[in-house]
Amino acid sequence: MDLFSDEYTDGNALAGPLRELFTVDMTSAVGRCVSCGGEGPVAGMKVYAQAPGLVARCPSCQEVLMRLVRGPSDAWLDLRGTMSLRIPMPPE
Amino acid sequence: MKLPPGQYLTEDFPVLTAGPTPRVPTDTWEFVVVTEAGEKHRWSWAELMALPSEQPTVDLHCVTKWSKLGTSWQGVSLDVLLDGVDTAADYVMVHSYGGYTTNLPFEDLRNGQAWIAYRFDGEDLHPEHGGPARLLVPHLYLWKSAKWVRGLRLTDEDEPGFWESAGYHDYGDPWREQRYQGD
Amino acid sequence: MARAAVSGGLNRRLAWHAARLAEVVEETPSARTLVFDVPDWPGHLPGQHVDVRLTAEDGYSTERSYSIATPADGTRVALTVQRVDDGEVSPYLTETLSPGDVIELRGPVGGWFVWRSADPAPVLLIAGGSGIVPLMAMIRARREAGSRALFRLIYSVRTPEDRFYADELRTRARDDMGLDVGYVYTRQAPEGWPTAPRRLSVADVNNGGWPPDFQPACFVCGPTAFVETVADILVALGHDPRRVKTERFGPTGS
């Protein structure tokens, strides 16, 4: 292992933490990056999880797309780097 | 031995990062202090190295609940760097290579409480721990000790930095367990 | 208060369940399958994962994600866990946890990296190391659902000893019509293997996969660097990036 490798995972790791907040799966949602306009599923975001919160970055330009901090009695969700999210809705 | 509330002792030095690790060559590295009046003070790497350094041994407390005691550093005290800076600012926004920011009161950088650190445990500071240089302000939770530090913006108003705008505390005193906004 | 007002039935966010270890299957010298019994388990799709939470007596708590290895089976949830020597969680799960012990589990989660048995498209599965686990759930689900979708698996593994499910895959490659299984050994190959140990190459993906014209659904799972290499190869070979689904296990895989 490279000691200095930038260890990240991907947006699949957000499935549980986001499913705690939303009633539908959010990893299939397609987001658009505010910075580069790139589009892709939440599952494909680069996620830095070894941090005080979860930080999801654009796989193309590294812009911070999403931050999720979970405290004992509150969760903070920051989406300022995401222009929009298209969320597939399961049939009723 | 006494730990702040809710902390666990570790012998490791866990690496936490919110993004890719910047590689900043020391020949282009600079540290810039911008006052509330817009006055800029710059130091190159060579200029930083020429300043008198200190070798503090301090305890580190990370908000993710690990604490590491008795860590040895070398760096330049902010008292030295801020000595010729004309300011009446109450707050500081710390900026890093890679885009990270964190906020704290200006007075927490003064009086032997903070350093620009460039050596850890007798060796040059590894990029994964914030090298070539990081802010070291050990009396606050470690997210305030910004890695890859590139400058300070002195301000009259407190503005939230990277983690502070996503729920973490504006001050972050481990002994008062100020982890989240409202703690 | 708003919080009190929603607690009467509307508050159905995903919660942690108590999961009791029912059975253990040794897979390799350093990996085992843990079969948990989870009352009220709602079922899951192949490819989905769970979050596992361990809490020490002093209150210290930590979470990891693990893929589910089997298709839905009542209240049974099977995870195959590789021990990471300096890991915080996997040594406990692979060495200490015993039948009857209870851990906390949240899931199933993930709706993107899943295979649906109604999808008739050919499927290419590429696994790096323990990345085989969610892909094995798809292979098992395929036969169970009577799917005729053509499946090809390319399994990159360090040594023969590190293979998960080796006997089962041998049997399925023979009995599951339309399933091909190929291996790439990166450190040590079996006796008589035609090639020396090496990393997965473009040729392996080209020869062992499907032509892009077939518009296969591609699932790639493994360590971050492996997944990125394979995804790049697939796209370079002409596969539609939207048909290439990836799951990386980064530092939280320990």
pLDDT in tens, C191-247: 999 999 999 999 999 999 999 999 999 999 999 999 999 999 999 999 999 999 999
- A57 has a chain B CB within 8 A of its CB: yes
B-chain residues near C55 (CB < 8 A): none
Q: How confident is the model at residue C62 (pLDDT cuts 50, 70, 90)?
A: confident
The Cα of A10 is separated from the nearest Cα of chain C by a number of Å equal to 6
The Cα of B6 is separated from the nearest Cα of chain C by a number of Å equal to 9
Q: How confident is the model at residue B23 (pLDDT cuts 50, 70, 90)?
A: very high
Total-model pTM: 0.92
Task: Tell whether C153 and C95 lie within a shared domain.
Answer: no
- C60 has a chain B CB within 8 A of its CB: yes
Interface mutation target, options A2, A55, A58, A70, chain B, most CBs of B under 10 Å: A55
Segment holding B34, helix H or strand E: strand B30-34
Question: What is the spatial distance between Cα B69 and Cα B8, in angstroms, rounded to a whole number?
Answer: 11
Task: Tell whether C66 and C145 lie within a shared domain.
Answer: no
Q: Taking the mean position of all CA atoms in its chain, how far away is CA B5? A: 22
List chains adjacent to chain B, taking adjacency as at least 3 C-beta pairs closer than 8 Å.
A, C
pLDDT in tens, C150-201: 999 999 999 999 999 999 999 999 999 999 999 999 999 999 999 999 999 9
Task: Tell whether C105 and C171 lie within a shared domain.
Answer: no
**Class of the CATH domain delimited by B32-176:** alpha beta
Task: Tell whether C243 and C148 lie within a shared domain.
Answer: yes
CB atoms within 10 A of CB B36: 17
Question: What is the spatial distance between Cα C138 and Cα C136, in angstroms, rounded to a whole number?
Answer: 5
**Does residue A89 lie in a domain region?**
no
Task: Tell whether C147 and C209 lie within a shared domain.
Answer: yes
- C58 has a chain B CB within 8 A of its CB: yes
Tokens, residue A17: 């933490």
- C56 has a chain B CB within 8 A of its CB: no
Cross-sheet strand order for the sheet of C151-157 = C179-185, C151-157, C123-128, C217-223, C244-249
What domain count does chain C have? 2
Q: Which residue has the tokens 């059975």?
A: C23
Task: Tell whether C54 and C171 lie within a shared domain.
Answer: no
Show which of C65, C85, C109 is a domain's final residue.
C109
Task: Tell whether C131 and C225 lie within a shared domain.
Answer: yes
pLDDT in tens, A36-64: 999 999 999 999 998 999 999 999 999 99
B-chain residues near A56 (CB < 8 A): none
Tokens, residue A38: 């790139």
Segment holding A84, helix H or strand E: strand A82-86
Task: Tell whether C127 and C213 lie within a shared domain.
Answer: yes
Domain residues for the domain of A27 are 9-83
Q: What's the per-residue H, E or C state across chain C?
A: CHHHHHCCCCCCCCCCEEEEEEEEEEEECCEEEEEEECCCCCCCCCCCEEEEEEECCCCCEEEEEEEECCCCECCEEEEEEECCCCCCCHHHHHHHCCCCCEEEEEEEECCCCCCCCCCCCCEEEEEEHHHHHHHHHHHHHHHHHCCCCCEEEEEEECCHHHCCCHHHHHHHHHHCCCEEEEEEECCCCCCCCCCCCCCCCHHHHHHHCCCHHHCCEEEEEEEHHHHHHHHHHHHHCCCCHHHEEEEEECHHHC
The Cα of C125 is separated from the nearest Cα of chain A by a number of Å equal to 17
Task: Tell whether C41 and C155 lie within a shared domain.
Answer: no
CB-nearest to A25 from C111, C227, C252 is C111
Domain residues for the domain of C211 are 123-253
Q: Which residue of C has its CA nearest to A42?
A: C112
Interface mutation target, options A12, A50, A87, chain C, most CBs of C under 10 Å: A12
**Does residue C10 lie in a domain region?**
no
**Does residue A92 lie in a domain region?**
no
pLDDT in tens, B46-88: 999 999 999 999 999 999 999 999 999 999 999 999 999 999 9
Segment holding B78, helix H or strand E: helix B78-81
Show which of C70, C86, C109 is a domain's final residue.
C109
Q: Which of residues 69-88 of B touch A (CB under 8 A)?
A: none
What domain count does chain A have? 1
Domain range list for chain B: 32-176
The Cα of C7 is separated from the nearest Cα of chain A by a number of Å equal to 14
Contact assignment for A55 to B20 by CB distance below 8 Å: no
